[in-house]
Amino acid sequence: MQPSATTVWRSLDALNFFLADVRDGLGPYLAIYLLTERRWDEASIGAVMSIAAIAGILAQTPAGALIDRSRAKRALMIAAAMTVTAACLMLPLLDHFALVAATQALAAAAGSVFAPAIAAVTLGIVGPRAFAARTGRNEAFNHAGNAVAAAVAGGTAYWFGPVVVFWLLAAMALASIAATLAIPAGAIDHQVARGLDHIAGEAAHEKPSGFRVLLTCRPLLIFAGATVIFHFANAAMLPLVGQKLALVNRNLGTSLMSVCIIAAQIVMVPVAIVVGRKADVWGRKPIFAVALAVLAIRGALYPLSDNPYWLVSVQLLDGIGAGIFGALFPLVVADLTHGTGHFNVSQGAIATATGIGGALSAAVAGFIVVHAGYGAAFLFLAAIAAAGLVGYCVLMPETLRTTTASSSAALAPHGG
């Protein structure tokens, strides 16, 4: 019996909700845990986060290629969820820098599977025409899951300490595994899931993902550069805010971080829905330009006050920038790879660029904080975002118009 569309969509909703806390591992809570429980300095914390990010970078593109080829996408997500959870649960038992870095590197490498796998499964279920709206819904449920998880973490960390985040992650992982299994395997069209359609033909379906397309599509390279800049400017901001809050009140550090995350995630839910519904109307370029502009403003506002209420208020802007990026990223990649069979490997490659920006952000920001203070670090990141905005507006074409046969013709000869 064929599953109903409602059943499949609800399973996707549940997967995105419960996987929200798993796909990023410990995230900014890692910085608070190492700062308050282990008494590490900011430079060492930044180094661990950078090592983990580099491991994720190295895994991104191979993960995308694997998802292109694999018909076991659900099994890949389950294995990744179990690996991330195991690595994070080991952390409280470890104290040496190398061991902590190794567990977080393993978690980051496994976590590289989630984003392209969810996008592939979604595309394989709904097809390209409904992909924008469904991606916006995916992101809305993802942000709602993050908000709920952060609320639970913030509400319990005051009594049980930062270690409560580890147990919450394990519970969410188990729920995400159940949600993954609830998606019927037969509902996924694996040909469509890799960016092909039925018009592309069986020969293209049998062709494995190639890498030359990533180096010959100029808009794809420009977008990759934009993601590097976006995440270089964005990745370190929330951990830095968490560190400032923890230094003000050690007992409330994790709870205040949860407030920051909840505030931003609540904003991200409607932003993701709007992007999903309007990206095919307004176009991709102006929407992403707004994300870069908001990021620059956010970085410039943080240094104006150390008041926790001010920091949390400014963090609301993260909901706009990150909400736009999360919903728009797979759409732009799908635009530029439609009909080529390179959707997932291209996602992996762009995610690699994202990881590069995030890894450099944590290390550079930590160095600046140690030598010049938090204010200087925030202003530096804001300046990077502003420069990226100018470059993006000048160089990046509107990709919505390339979601036609012409884009397939431009990219297909370069695969292999």
pLDDT at 408: 38
Is 407's pLDDT higher than 60? no
Confidence tier at 199 by pLDDT (50, 70, 90): very low
* 415 is a domain residue: no
pLDDT at 198: 53
Instruction: Classify 201 in phi/psi space as left (phi over 0), alpha (psi -120 to 50) or beta.
Output: left
pLDDT at 213: 60
Q: Name the residue range of residue 274's domain.
A: 5-197+211-404
CB 343 within 8 A of CB 210: no
* The token pair that represents 110 in the structure block: 């496994």
pLDDT at 325: 92
* 385 is a domain residue: yes
Q: Determine the average pLDDT of the residues in 149-164.
A: 75
* 414 is a domain residue: no
* 393 is a domain residue: yes
* 206 is a domain residue: no
Is 405's pLDDT higher than 50? no
Q: Determine the average pLDDT of the residues in 115-134.
A: 88
Of 129, 106, 125, nearest to 117 by C-alpha is 125
* 412 is a domain residue: no
CA neighbours within 13 Å on the CB side: how many for 287?
27
First to last CA, the chain: 38
| pTM as predicted | 0.74
pLDDT at 251: 60
- What's the total number of domains in the chain? 1
Could you tell me which residue, 236 or 22, shows the higher pLDDT?
Answer: 236
CATH value at residue 395:
1.20.1250.20
DSSP conformational letter for 398: P
Per-residue pLDDT of 240-295, as tens digits, reads: 888 877 776 666 666 677 777 778 888 988 999 999 888 888 999 999 999 999 99
Is 414's pLDDT higher than 60? no
pLDDT at 380: 96
pLDDT at 235: 87
Measured distance CA(8)–CA(173) in Å, rounded:
20
* 286 is a domain residue: yes
Measured distance CA(153)–CA(163) in Å, rounded:
9
* 263 is a domain residue: yes
Cα 267 to chain center, whole Å?
16
pLDDT at 415: 37
Mean of per-residue pLDDT scores for the chain: 81
Q: Determine the average pLDDT of the residues in 70-79.
A: 90
SS3 assignment, position 193: helix
Confidence tier at 25 by pLDDT (50, 70, 90): low
pLDDT at 61: 84
Cα 28 to chain center, whole Å?
13
